[in-house]
Amino acid sequence: MSMFSYPDYPTSNGYLTETIRNQYMGKAIERQLLPENAYRLAHVVSLNASIDESKPIQFWQLFSVLGQDRIVDIVRAFYERVFNDEEWFRSVFAKVGGVGHHVNTQASMWIDVMGGGQYYHGGEYRLSFHHTHNAMALMNDKGATRWVELMVKTLNDPALDFTDDIRVRPAINTFLSHFMSKYASEFQFADDRSFGDLNKALRRTINFLNMTSDAIEALSEAELTEALMARGVDASQLVTKEQLVNKALSL
């Protein structure tokens, strides 16, 4: 039985939630991190984290687990490091405002994307404007490297409260990695930095008993093999798709 009963905090879509969720899901499906039918899976598209601990928490579900205070604490801890960093880095932020300004702005964006409601007024336009105007001096390899270093140090601080759900940190890493990849593409710097372990790939659950013969035949060889093995079938001798399909139909 699960030790969790989410949502711990009420959720709703923000100005960015659905847009960022759909952008991430499209890429994740292409990379086979999410199954092709992910948009039809309630536990994936929901704003509330699944109580099934075998299913990863998607980053748009993080508010349901963390709530506002924990998210603000993470962002504040990060910007305290930023404003104590080297002049070339912190000066870019200081020109825009103090620690409080950045905490309010960034936390609003995180809460908005993570399912906490409409906090980041201006949505994508505001986000784009910030990076092309306020933060442009750091949208390069040197700036990205330092930003990631400080964020990883922040997230590794044992003083932060991620709750007892071990799925939270990979979900945060996935959230940050998605945006870092987005900016690396937009501003043409290398996308080779890591925040730590990401969400594990979510495989499609295949139940041959609930599928028509046409649906089974439409599965890929990899899906057929994985599903057969999950049923305890030795698929090592099934070398063609036809053999895999016939075995699946016989179950």
Band the pLDDT of 32: cuts 50, 70, 90: confident
State phi, psi for 149 to the nearest 5 degrees: -55, -45
Q: Check whether 168 has a pLDDT greater than 70.
A: yes
What does the alpha-carbon distance between residue 200 and residue 151 come to, in Å, rounded to a whole number?
A: 21
Whether the Cβ atoms of residue 35 and residue 45 lie closer than 8 Å to each other: no
Q: And the tokens for 236?
A: 């090592």
Q: What is the dihedral of CA 187, 193, 198, 201, to 10 degrees?
A: 70
Q: How far is CA 11 from CA 37, 53, 112, 161, 225, in A?
A: 24, 20, 10, 20, 38
Going along the chain from its start, the domains and CATH numbers come out as 1-205 (1.10.490.10), 208-250 (no CATH)
Q: Which of 2-6, 137-141, 222-226 has the highest mean pLDDT?
A: 137-141
Band the pLDDT of 1: cuts 50, 70, 90: low
Q: And the tokens for 79?
A: 């910007």
pLDDT at residue number 75: 98
Higher pLDDT, 94 or 226: 94
Q: Check whether 37 has a pLDDT greater than 70.
A: yes
Task: Give mean pLDDT, residues 175-179.
Answer: 97
Task: Give mean pLDDT, residues 84-102.
Answer: 96
| Model confidence pLDDT, tens digit, residues 179-237 | 999 999 999 999 999 999 999 998 777 778 888 898 888 888 877 887 888 778 888 88
State the pTM of this model: 0.84
Let me know if 236 is exposed, middle or buried by CB neighbors in 10 A (0-12, 13-18, 19+). exposed
Higher pLDDT, 142 or 228: 142
| Model confidence pLDDT, tens digit, residues 96-129 | 999 999 999 999 999 999 999 999 999 888 988 8
Tally the residues of the chain.
251
